[in-house]
Chains A and B, each alone.
Chain A
């Protein structure tokens, strides 16, 4: 299985900050990577697919980059609605696997 490791596990930030979350894969997943946002009591929502493609309806302050084994999710100008947990997911090979999550909390 491909292991996905996110860092940091928790991130404290303020409204307006730029936030960067890292996801590392235990082997290359090329660009087959998605990012999700999850809020308590709600299902995950996709933000980014194929490493850098913004899903329709997602604000442009979210962006993704990377390929191979290292990826980043950047949130420019953090908004109050963005405090949540973020997960990466590889879909290079089965079983599909997720990172452990990064909680973005209010500083």
Chain B
């Protein structure tokens, strides 16, 4: 059974870069064509950050103003997120998620437990 686990610093300084990795265990990352990041904050609720495909092509939420980049490392069975120039508004629980493509876009059937990232001096 596949599991997802986010990892990375829980505290990031303002204006710095937030980096998170999602390790896929129990099965191959190749089992899903796409992989997704979602975050939840008190101020913005649940927010889809975007998705990355097996060949590294990504779709991002425009609300992030080109601050985000996703990576995938198939040999390590993991994918990653980098969000630069962070502010307090980026404080959130970040989830890595497996999407189920239904039509053109997706709903989400498997979530990691989430990683709380706080942006603060």
| CB atoms of B45 and A34 under 8 A apart | no
Query: Which residue, of A34, A36, A96, has the highest number of chain B Cβ atoms within 10 A?
Result: A96
A1-40 vs B: 1/0 string, CB under 8 Å?
Answer: 1000000000000000000000000000000101010000
Task: A96 to B95: give the CA distance in the assembly, Å.
Answer: 15
Binds A, one of B10-18, B24-32, B57-65, B74-82: B57-65
B95-121 vs A: 1/0 string, CB under 8 Å?
Answer: 100001011111111011110000000
Report the tally of A-B residue pairs with Cβ distances under 8 A.
Answer: 60
Query: Which residue, of A44, A45, A92, has the highest number of chain B Cβ atoms within 10 A?
Result: A44
Chain B interface residue bracket vs A? 20 to 34
| CB atoms of A89 and B107 under 8 A apart | yes
| CB atoms of B111 and A96 under 8 A apart | no
Q: Closest B-chain residue to A53, C-beta based? A: B102
B46 contacts the other chain (CB 8 A): yes
* Residue count of chain A within 8 Å CB distance of chain B: 25
Q: Closest A-chain residue to B50, C-beta based? A: A95
* 18 more A-B residue pairs beyond the given contacts A36-B108, A96-B105, with a C-beta to C-beta distance below 8 A: A1-B63, A34-B108, A43-B95, A43-B111, A43-B112, A46-B107, A55-B109, A89-B46, A91-B104, A93-B105, A94-B59, A95-B61, A95-B63, A96-B106, A97-B48, A98-B45, A98-B46, A100-B45
Q: Which 8 A-B pairs have the closest CB atoms?
A: A43-B111, A34-B107, A91-B105, A98-B46, A96-B48, A95-B61, A49-B107, A100-B45
